[in-house]
Structure 1
Amino acid sequence: MPRKLNSAAEKKAFVIEAFDTLFNKRDYKAAEAYWSPNYVQHSAHIPPGREGLFDLVKALPAGHRHESGLAAAEGDLVFLQSRFSGNGQPRALITIDIVRLSDGVLAEHWDVWQQEASAMESKSGLPMFGTRFPD
């Protein structure tokens, strides 16, 4: 049965919960309730469909971690700033994930990402994520 996600706050909370369920808890069965079986993936570095995303997460190192940052919702879209660390890369990845909700599930995804800058590299002197630079 589709969920009714009416307010921006409900939509943001739903997407944050979905990402935590998949990326941190790695509860793939529970994650199926958040992602449409017909999920459309626009990211160039993630295989197509819900299975492609889940298989990518299954292949990540055990220490992989997702943190949610800023979030905004407009209509059926949710924009989520994230930090992905412990992913086998030299630095964490900072992303903006854009998901389209349909019938109470994540139906479509786009993202942009870059490696997190250190304090020495930041021309603004401000961290890319949160209130402090990575250790």
Structure 2
Amino acid sequence: MKTTAEENKSLLLEAFEVLFNRRDYVAASQYWSENYIQHSAHIAPGRDGLFNLIRTLPDTLRYENQLVVAEGDFVIAHGRFSGHGRPAAWIAADIVRFENGKLAEHWDVLQDEATAADSASGLPMFGDNFPSQTGRAD
């Protein structure tokens, strides 16, 4: 099944909601290819590597999306992962290649979200506000 760039954007956002926010692994398996290729250095290979990582994180884990762009089979999502038990939320650029309507391959760039005191530019990394001490935007 060939999907359009717009369909891929929608599929990615649905997949992230189902896996990261709802923790519905059965439903998530419908979005991720059985042959999923993981390029992230901190996640074990394959769909099982990703799902098993999420299982180890607190139930408070949340994904928020700010921007999603797509061209052909590739989608890039700019988002925030918070509630993972670390001092700062992660700001991520997730790059996904789709194949047959499923997430087939993934790369990411992760960075701890800067506070107002840490921001050389004086601008927040995500949204319009800097994070509070809890790791969520004020």
Match status 1:123 vs 2:123: no
| Alpha-carbon distance in 1 for matches of 2:35, 2:69 | 24
Count of matched residue pairs: 132
- Matched to 1:61, the amino acid is P
| Alpha-carbon distance in 1 for matches of 2:31, 2:69 | 18
Q: CA deviation at 1:111?
A: 0.3
Q: CA deviation at 1:70?
A: 1.0
Match status 1:76 vs 2:79: no
| Alpha-carbon distance in 1 for matches of 2:81, 2:55 | 14
- Matched to 2:72, the amino acid is G
Gaps of 5+ in 2: 133-138
Match status 1:132 vs 2:126: no
Q: CA deviation at 1:20?
A: 0.6
- Matched to 2:92, the amino acid is T
Partner residue, 2:14: 17
- Matched to 1:31, the amino acid is A
- The TM-score normalised by the length of structure 2 is 0.92
Alignment of 1:1-135 (within 5 A): 2=1, 4-6=2-4, 8-135=5-132
- The TM-score normalised by the length of structure 1 is 0.94
Q: CA deviation at 1:68?
A: 1.1
Q: CA deviation at 1:21?
A: 0.3
Structure 1: which 4+ aligned runs deviate by more than 2 Å?
Answer: none
Gaps of 5+ in 1: none
User: How high is the sequence identity, in percent, across the aligned residues?
Assistant: 58
